[in-house]
Every structure is written in structure tokens, then in C-alpha cells.
Amino acid sequence: MNDAALAPPRRVTLFCGHYGSGKTNIAVNYALWIRSLGYRVNIADLDIVNPYFRTKDSAARLDAAGVRLISSAYANTNVDFPALPTEMYAVTDDTDAYAVLDIGGDDRGALALGRYAPAILAEGRYEMLFVVNRFRPLTRTVPDALAVLREIEAAGGIRATGIVNNTNLGEETTAEDVLASLPFAEALSRESGLPVRMTAVREDLAPALAGSVGPLFPIVLEHKYTWK
């Protein structure tokens, strides 16, 4: 299903970005993709900011696929406690497995990354991907998106190495919406000097976009609430 042009994963992949840009859904799908290639993979929820929509919402899917989920014991509970488990060190210590990190939103969310950044940088086999959705009002322009990116890098202690264009309007997204976002993604790429590593799209839109948006990453969305 994935576009052949999608580059192989690095040992550690970090997804960062403005909150609500889709980091968690992409991180979950990316971990499942690595697993589907036959590799062992850990996915870590470093989000200590978002109270409602978490990597843990996908626990059943991840577990069924054999992806190890490392998440706060308090995620999805009533405890509003920004703590990370010691297990989180598996991300940097278990170097035989791939690791996917879901970083919390904005610079506030990226602050927790600072604890693990030295080890990730020392190992040097990572990529940090900045997830951006042009339909998010605070990252609608290239300067605004760049400003958010720089704040995240400063807070997390790691510079981004690529961009994930995740432009979407949720269920209402059309292939045209994605195509219309390409100039924005290219301009952001030019201004930041970072390549557009992939364009993430809802799985059902992938056939219409294959071949016209560069490396394509189809994702299956987690539906926490079953009603409309």
C-alpha cells in the first residue's frame, strides 16, 4: 500500500509538531509500517500535554501487531500528571529495535524530549520529522510554521531533519485539499532547508494521490469516539 519511494526507516524516528497536527496518528501508523517490514519496534508516547487523544488509544492495534507501546501509566486516566515511565529508556537502550517517538505538541510538549536527546544524538541514527497541517490556523503560513518548528527544536534539544506534510481536514479531507497544500510544503521545505520526507494521507485518498505528491504515507485513523 505504501508508495515505493518512501525511504527506509532510521533506527529512531521522532514526530514533533504543533499540537493537533496529527503526530500521534502518524507515529502509530509509522510504527505499524516498520513492524510490517518485519522489524521489532517500540513506540513511545512522550506527550505529557494532551489529556484526551493519546498513543494509548491505539493500544489494541499496536498490541495485535506486536508493537511494544511505552506510555505513561496515567495516560487516559483522570490523573493529570506529566510523568514518564522509566521504561522509556528502552527507546535509547534497546538499540536492536526500531523506535518511534510521539512528541507532545509545540515547545511545551517537546520539553520532555530533552531528557532523551543526548542519547539519541550520541547514537546518531535518528530522524526528527516535523508534522505540519496547513489547515491548522497557527501553522497556516510558512513563517508561522517555521516559528513553531524553531521553538520545538529549542525546547527538545534536537533539530528536525525532515517534514511530514499532513495537511487535512479530518473526515472532510479531499485529494484536492492535499494537492493544494503541495506549494506550501515546498515553500516550508525551501525556507527550512529540510526535505519533505513524506505526505501523509487518509488511506482511502491514497490511490487518487499516488504518483503526484512524492513519497506518500497512507494512514488509518484511530476513532476514539464511535458516533458522529
Partner 1 sequence: MAEKVLMKGNEAIAEAAILAGCRHYFGYPITPQTEVAAYMAKRMPKIGGTFLQAESELAAINMVIGVASTGKRAMTSSSSPGISLKCEGLSYLAGCDLPALVVNVERGGPGLGGIQPSQSDYFQATRGSGHGDFHMIVLAPASVQEMAALTMKGFDLADKYRMTSMILADGTMGQMMEPVVLEAPEPVVYEKPWALTGTDGKRPHNIVNSLYLVPEDLERTNFARYERYRTVEENEAAAESFMTEDADIVVVAFGIAARVSKNAILAAREKGIRVGLIRPITLWPFPKAVIAGAASHAKRFISVELSMGQMIEDVRLAMDCARPVTLVNRAGGMIPSPDEVLAAIETAQGGLKA
CA distance 152 to 157: 8
Which residues touch 137 (CB under 8 Å, ≥6 apart)? Answer: none
d(Cα 211, Cα 50) in Å, to the nearest integer?
35
For the CB of residue 21, give the shortest distance to partner 1 in the complex, in Å.
9
Q: How far is the CB of 135 from partner 1 (least distance, A)?
A: 4
Nearer to partner 1, 119 or 147 (CB): 147
CB-wise, 51 or 183, nearer to partner 1?
Answer: 51
Q: Which is nearer to partner 1, 38 or 228 (CB)?
A: 228
For partner 1, the binding residues (CB under 8 A) are 19-20, 50-53, 78-80, 106, 108, 133, 135-138, 140, 168-170, 172, 225-228
Spatial distance between the Cα atoms of 140 and 142, rounded to a whole number of angstroms:
7
Q: Which residue has the cell 496518528?
A: 25
Please state the closest distance from residue 167 (CB atom) to partner 1, in A. 9
Q: How far is the CB of 22 from partner 1 (least distance, A)?
A: 9
Q: Which helix (H) or strand (E) holds 199?
A: strand 196-202
Q: Which is nearer to partner 1, 86 or 226 (CB)?
A: 226
Q: Are 16 and 23 in contact (CB under 8 A)?
A: yes
d(CA 169, CA 104): 20
